[in-house]
Each structure stands twice: as C-alpha cells, then as structure tokens.
Structure 1
Amino acid sequence: MPSSRKVTASAVTVAALGLSVLAAWPAAAHGTMGDPVSRVAQCYAEGPESPESAACEAAVAAGGTQALYDWNGIRIGDAAGRHRQLIPDGRLCSAGNEEFKGLDLARADWPATRVHGGPYTFKYRVTAAHRGTFTVYATKPGYDPAKRLAWADLDLEHPVAKATDPVPAGGFYTFTGTLPERSGRHLLYAVWQRSDSPEAFYSCSDVDFGGDGGASAPAPSASAPSGEQIAAGAGKSTIEHHGHGDDDARTSAEPAAAGPAERPAPADRPEAQGGSWSPTRLAETGASAGTSSVAIGGAAALAVGSAALFLSVRRRAAGGGRRR
C-alpha cells in the first residue's frame, strides 16, 4: 500500500477511535445518604423489580427500575454550587434528572427514618471518595409531604449539618449535625459539592419526628441496602462502582460491599498523599450527562487532528502527482 494511503487509513482509524470514546465512556457517580436513608436507597433495598412499599412501587412505575440500580447517580456534573439555579422546584429529589423522576413524587407514605431533635450522626454511603463539602437541610415547620418539594420548603439559612472533607471508612462518610425540633413527617435534603470538580450529588431522606404532625398514619420504617444487595445489583447499574469514570481495573474491580477507604492508593498516585486520583482525571471534570468533558475534548481533538492529517496527505499526494 502506498505510504499516503497508509497514513490516510491511520487517520481514519484514529478519528473513529476518538469518536467511539464519546459513546463508550462510562458514567461515574459516587453515593447517596445512607442514614437517614435516602429515597433511592430505600427503594433499592426493597428490590427494584418488586418493591414492597406503595411509594417505591409508584416510583418504579413513574421512572422504571434502572433509576434504582443507578442509586448512586443523582448528580449534576457542572453544578459548581449553582444548585438553586439548576434544579427547579418540584424536582429536587431527582436533581432535575429525568431518570430519577419517580423520586420527586409527592406522597405522604414514603418510608421514613424515625428521628428526634438534637445531635444526629449522618452516614453517607459512598462508592468513590472525593474531597468536598456535605450540607444537609431540613424542611421548615408546616412542610406538606403531599406537595412536591420546593426550595422554599427548606430552611436554607440553617443547615442541620455541614462537613468538609470527612474521612471515608467502611463504605461511608460519617459526620455529625443537629436536627431541629419538629413533629411529624419531614425531609432532609443533602448536597455533596465536590471541591476537586464542579460535580455535585443530591439526595432526599424522609424522616419522622413522631407526634401527629398532620400525618394520618405512621410512615413505614426505612431501611438501607446491605453491602450484599449493592454488590448483587452492581452488574445492572450503568454507573461505575468504586471507579472514577475510567476503565482502569485498579479503580473498578473492588467489590461493591467494601468501602473506598479499605483500598490503599497506589504509592505513586496523589491519592496516597491525601488527594483523589484518576489515571487521566477524566471523571474529575464532572460532565453533566455522565460523559467527561475532558473525554469529549480529547475525542474531538483526535477527530479534528485526524481530519487535518487526512487533508494534508491528500494535498501532498495531489502535489506529487502534478510534479510528475
């Protein structure tokens, strides 16, 4: 084969490979509130295919089972603290993500964790550790669970918990806060804003402070999924567990039941000195659709470069023909 044709074929191959990155790159996501149990964790624990509670059954009917297998994927890749600007009223529990729309259903029978005012230890189930700040808000007195959650329902001026860079252990970030004095059903809204990326994660946890609080009947008790349940459903998830959005086996092969802190970082990686890492930091950019913006940029650069190489070869070939 003439050399010009070989180069042209290589350019086309490289371009195809670059474009395939866009379609094949895995989504990365990293957790949800485990205590008090978030809605998505509760419904996953019940079983995506046959949920036990009426609320989770309705959530599956509205959004399908995949949202529950993707329980750690309620996120906005480019949030950068702009939570109120990006998430409309009525869609806080799904973070405006269509896949998770079943979690936004306004119902007074979501399974709830029994709590009371005073100190509380929060446990956030994590499948990939990152630096960042956790902020938890409680609904105001008079909250009506039969209406879709709006930003105005939350006491944004007085977070019940705030923690920056807690240390993960046993599969959880653990931090403390103080719950307000309330009665009846309420909701805790958690925001995990990463500091090493604009990406943020969101979760809704239904809680019951006791007393009538306007509720006609006690809420079903909530329960978190076990490590075994998480491991069993990982194969059906579209979210990479224990990875950073890459295909490096060192970041994706760990059993889902184990916690990220239980795997030592390679000595030559920044994570070993307390930072987070990814071989090419592709997932650290937090593209909003689950595809890294760096991956997109790299694939685009490959395609453009290949096209330029193709045109250059064609021009040289044409010039050579004229010289003959």
Structure 2
Amino acid sequence: MRGKLGAVIVGLGVLGASALATGSASSHGYISQPPSRQALCAEGTVSDCGDIQYEPQSVEGPKGFPETGPPDGAICSGGNSRFAQLDDPRGGQWPATQLTGGQTYDFTWTFTARHATTDFEYFVSNDSYDPTKPLTRAELQPQPFLTVPYDGEPPSSDTVTQQGTVPTGLTGKHLILAVWNIADTGNAFYACSDVQF
C-alpha cells in the first residue's frame, strides 16, 4: 500500500510540475520604457491599481488591433475587466514621459515569459485624443508609427529594446499604445504609456 501511495504522490508531483511548466511557458510582458500604466502601478508610482500592480505582464486580449481586439474604452486593459484601472484616465493625471517629435527613442519591453511573436506595433494618439477620457480607436493614428517584425521567433531575452523615431507634429499630452502580437495564439499583449510632447 505504501508503495502505491508513493507512486501516486510522485505521479501527482510530475503532473503538477508539468502543469506549472506549461503555464509558465505562456507569453507575458509589458512596456517598461516609456513606463506603461501597468509598470507605474507595479513600481508603486501610482496607487489604487488593483490586481495589475501584482501582474503588470498580464494585460492580454484578442489580437488583430485595430480592426478587432479590445473594445473602445477598454483598450489599455486589453479588454480584461480585472485590469479596468488601466482604462481609467484619472482626470488626465497619469504620469507622463517627456518626448520630442522626431527624436529617436528606445522602447523597452520586460518579459516574464517569452513566446513566438508575429510583431510588435506602436500606435500614438492623434489630435482628437482627450487624456481625461478612456481611449478609443478614433483617438489613435490608424497606422502604427513603428512595427518590429519577429517572424514567429520569441524575444531573445527577458528585456528587449526596440529603437524607433517618435512621430512629429504632436503637442501636449498623448498616449502610446504598444501591442505585442503572439504568433501561435489568438491573443496579444497591450500596454499604454502616457507621454508629453
């Protein structure tokens, strides 16, 4: 009896380890530069963030943005109601990173798990953007200003920097939406970074 019980315990342990390994192989990541809203929550710069402060890497939603993906008003949370604090404009008071149009900038992703990737896309808000209201598609320029193709490969390390040129012609408070499109699932990861031109 003791031998059978031991075999069952070992079997359950192997099964549990396999489940954990499978779970940790899923893709997770967020923009750390310029600091995304979830990064600001995780580092404690912004309070009253709910669950996102513990898992900034988990803003996952349907891919296909802007044609599909998260609904208007829930883009920054990836359409995930657990992270609705990311869609709250907080009266336009999210801390913003100073940028100058035309400058070269190093956009940095932090990953807790890497996964096969189609590409990374970066969108910026247009002149209709109202920082005191939840983000809608109509407030974003329709095409990404930067696309970084990965052709199905995973990111090479736990931190990846992608250099791009910041769009010109914008003034005041704006928002950059970064989208990490996963190659072998129907999802993408979303991160909103508040910026000041």
Assess if the C-alpha contact under 8 Å between 1:92 and 1:149 holds in 2. yes
Is 1:41 aligned to residue 36 of structure 2? no
Give the structure with higher Rg (CA).
1
In structure 1, what is the equivalent of residue 196 of structure 2? 208
Q: Classify the secondary structure of the residue corresponding to 1:122.
A: strand
Give me the TM-score of the superposition, normalised by structure 2.
Answer: 0.78
3-state SS, counterpart of residue 87 of structure 1 = coil
Matched, 1:100 2:83: yes
Q: Could you tell me which residue of structure 2 aligns to residue 68 of structure 1?
A: 53
Q: How many residues align?
A: 174
Is the CA contact 2:123–2:141 (under 8 Å) kept in the aligned structure 1?
yes
Match of 2:98 among 102, 114, 131: 114
CA deviation after TM superposition for structure 1 residue 149, in Å = 0.4
Structure 2, unaligned stretches of length 5 or more?
1-7
- Assess, with a 3 A threshold, how the Cα gap between structure 1 residues 102 and 191 changes in structure 2: closer, same or farther: same
Name the SS for the 1:93 alignment partner. Answer: coil
Answer whether contact 1:84 1:151 (CA < 8 A) is retained: no
CA contact under 8 A between 1:93 and 1:104: conserved in structure 2?
Answer: yes
Equivalent residues in 2 for 1:119-134 (5 A)? 119-130=104-115, 131-134=117-120
Rounded Cα–Cα distance in structure 1 between residues aligned with 2:38 and 2:65: 23
1:178 and 2:165 aligned: yes
Distance 2:189 2:59 in 1: 6
- Bigger proportion of residues as helix: 1
Cα distance between partner residues in 2 of 1:142 and 1:67: 28
Deviation per residue, 1:261-312 (Å, 9 max, x gap): xxxxxxxxxxxxxxxxxxxxxxxxxxxxxxxxxxxxxxxxxxxxxxxxxxxx
Shift in CA distance, 87/188, structure 1 to aligned 2, threshold 3 Å: same
Pairwise CA distance, 1:125: 1.1
What's 1:299 paired with? none
- 1:30-54, CA deviations, whole angstroms, 9 ceiling, x for partnerless residues? 10011111000011111xxxxx5xx
Tell me the C-alpha RMSD between the 2 structures. 2.5
Query: Higher mean Cα deviation, 24-33 or 84-93?
Result: 24-33
Which residue identity is paired with 1:200?
A
Q: Which moved more, 1:80-89 or 1:67-76?
A: 80-89
Normalized per residue, the structure richer in strand is 2
Within a 5 Å distance, the mapping from 1:133-152 to structure 2 comes to 133-152=119-138
The amino acid that maps onto 1:129 is R
Q: Distance in 2 between matches of 1:70 and 1:34?
A: 13
Where do residues 3-82 of structure 1 align in structure 2 (5 Å cutoff)? Answer: 26=23, 28-46=26-44, 52=45, 56-58=46-48, 60=49, 64=50, 66-76=51-61, 79-81=62-64
1:83 Cα offset (Å): 5.3
- Overall identity of the aligned pairs, in %: 36
* CA drift at 1:81: 2.1
Q: Quote the residue 2:149 is aligned against.
A: 164
Return the match for 2:180 from 192, 207, 210. 192
Change (3 A) 1:87 1:167: closer
